[in-house]
Structure 1
Amino acid sequence: MNKRQARLFAITSTLLASVAFIGLTLDSHRQFGKLTNADKITPAVTRGKDVWHNNNCINCHTLFGEGAYYAPDLTKITKLRGEAYLTAYMRDPSKFYDETRHRRLMPKQNLSDGDIADLYAFLDWVSNVDNQGWPPRPILVTGSTFPGTDQSTATAAATPPAARPVSGAEDPVALGERVFRSATPACAACHSIAPGVNMAGPSLAGLAGRTQTLLASGSYRGQAKDLAGYIRESITEPSAHLVPGAMFSANGVSFMPTTYGKSMSPQEVEQLAAYLSSLK
């Protein structure tokens, strides 16, 4: 290739790349309204964005993978944690984690109830933005620094559900494990199966043994008579019996979503119960 050909090649390549870039940019702008649910930007969402910025949340947290990377990415946080949980958490994070033992450094911002409601509205709008799968996975707060939990256990607990394959196409336990990871929101987003690793919900390690002890203790307040019944009740009526601990419930109501009874089929509930019953 002589100098003239090289020059023409460079100019042509630059022009083609520029045309492609402009075309992709215009196409992106054409879709922004739909992808971001712009019609759902209410005054509460706008006020919540101001609360987010005024309190410098981005100095620790990230949205769409952008931010300080010091604390969890909150892009899909309302899909992983319900409004009741996030509202209580924003009121006083210290009720959820012992900062001395667990190294949780989330400060109490002294937000008003109105600011909390607006901030939740903003985060919920963010959660519904079609972010094309970015970031690739949410950064979840796990119990990685809980006493008695080593780093390998904590890493396993934080591994995204899709990373661990499940075998056994007809095995109820295997099918239940798949439900555990794929339900909406995924059970694995709030519950760990590693001992001592409490997340938004208590660890499910040893659930079978603990449940038998609970049912025989006289402190159980639900209607179940056996392990399977207790698990089904916990899935469909999470407030029937509350696990002690301020981080799991407030004012007699569990933070666990009440939608699983409708979003999951009876068969899926049974499969999930079979899997959880296997956690000896």
Structure 2
Amino acid sequence: MTNRQARIFAVASTAIAALVFLVLTLDSHRQFPELTQSKNITPAVIHGKDVWHKYNCINCHTLFGEGAYYAPDLTKITQHRSEPYLQAYMRDPSRFYDEQTHRRLMPKQDLSDEEITDLIAFLDWVSNVDNQGWPPRPILVTGSFVPGADTVTAAERDIDPDKPPPGVTPVTEADDIRARGQKVFRMASPACNACHSTAPGADMAGPTMAGIVSRATQTLQSGDYQGAATDVEGYIRESIVDPSAHLVEGAMYSANGTSFMPTTYNDSLTDEEIDQLVAYLTTFK
């Protein structure tokens, strides 16, 4: 290749690369309004962003992978926690987590009610941005130090209702249903294990599922039960589809007569999936 040919090649390559970059940039800007749902940026969302910066939330938390990794990623937090929960949590985090027990160090910021409401509005807008899978892995708000929370046990890895290990088949149809329920427990949206552990004594945003059958039985027999269930299975199902039907007295899982449990499972899960989830939860005696 002569010097003249090399110069022509370099100039042409640079021009083509610049043209491709320009086209991709214009296409990105064309998609930004839809991807970011800019039409949903209200004054409350804008004020919530200001609150986020005012209290330096990014010093501990991350959004879209940007920020500190000292505390949980909050990119999708409103898909894992209900608004009543977030309202109560921001007012007084110490009522949810104990520093010695849970190693949680969230300070009480003394936010006003308006600041809390608008900050949640901002986080909800963030959670609905189409970030195209970034961060590249789901980051749950529970800590891996909690047994039975985010870790997957060897037994759980072995359970695949649609493809059992070689030579292994479910003993009964009931076993198969429970195995599918375990999958729902981890794969529902939001995932049940984002708030609930299966280890005894490991309460998180919600109570541990260990011993749920015994607690349900005691609740039904207590005389204080306010829901419509008549048996343990019905009580667990009611807790999933209508969590405010009965509130546990004194527990920090509700506020102002409303449970912090999401109310979307009746729509996001089929009746069959709820049956499977209930069957799985009834194994925790």
| TM-score normalised per structure 2 | 0.83
Q: Which residue of 1 aligns with 2:170?
A: none
Q: Does structure 2 retain, via aligned residues, the 8 Å contact 1:74–1:138?
A: no
Residue among 160, 167, 187 paired with 2:160: 167
Q: CA RMSD in A?
A: 2.7
Q: Which residue of 1 aligns with 2:210?
A: 205
Q: Does structure 1 retain, via aligned residues, the 8 Å contact 2:144–2:151?
A: no
Deviations 1:82-134 (A, max 9, x none): 10000111111111111233221111111110111110110010011000010
Q: Does structure 1 retain, via aligned residues, the 8 Å contact 2:185–2:193?
A: yes
* Alpha-carbon distance in structure 2 between the residues aligned to 1:17 and 1:206: 62
* Alpha-carbon distance in structure 1 between the residues aligned to 2:63 and 2:240: 30
Q: Which residue of 1 aligns with 2:22?
A: 22
Residue among 168, 178, 185 paired with 2:183: 178
Shift of 1:78: 0.4
Q: Which residue of 2 aligns with 1:79?
A: 79
Q: Which residue of 1 aligns with 2:58?
A: 58
Deviations 1:164-183 (A, max 9, x none): 57511372122222322332
**Residue identity in the other structure for 2:113:** D
SS at match of 2:70: coil
**Residue identity in the other structure for 2:81:** R
* Unpaired runs of at least 5, structure 1: none
Q: Which residue of 2 aligns with 1:269?
A: 274
* Alpha-carbon distance in structure 2 between the residues aligned to 1:19 and 1:197: 57
**Residue identity in the other structure for 2:18:** S
Deviations 1:4-53 (A, max 9, x none): 66665555444433332222211111100000000010010011111111
The alignment covers a number of residue pairs equal to 271
* Unpaired runs of at least 5, structure 2: 163-172
* Identical residues among aligned pairs (%): 66
Q: Does structure 2 retain, via aligned residues, the 8 Å contact 1:36–1:129?
A: yes
Q: Which residue of 2 aligns with 1:252?
A: 257
Shift of 1:220: 4.4
Q: Which residue of 2 aligns with 1:228?
A: 233
Q: Which residue of 1 aligns with 2:90?
A: 90
**Residue identity in the other structure for 1:84:** P
Q: Which residue of 1 aligns with 2:242?
A: 237
Deviations 1:172-202 (A, max 9, x none): 1222223223323222222222333322211
**Residue identity in the other structure for 1:269:** I
SS at match of 1:156: coil
Q: Which residue of 2 aligns with 1:156?
A: 151
SS at match of 2:246: coil
Q: Does structure 2 retain, via aligned residues, the 8 Å contact 1:75–1:138?
A: no
Q: Does structure 2 retain, via aligned residues, the 8 Å contact 1:141–1:199?
A: no
| TM-score normalised per structure 1 | 0.85
* Alpha-carbon distance in structure 2 between the residues aligned to 1:143 and 1:196: 15
Q: Does structure 2 retain, via aligned residues, the 8 Å contact 1:65–1:135?
A: yes
* Alpha-carbon distance in structure 2 between the residues aligned to 1:240 and 1:154: 26
Q: Which residue of 2 aligns with 1:49?
A: 49
SS at match of 2:134: coil
Deviations 1:192-229 (A, max 9, x none): 22333322211213433443454455564433332211
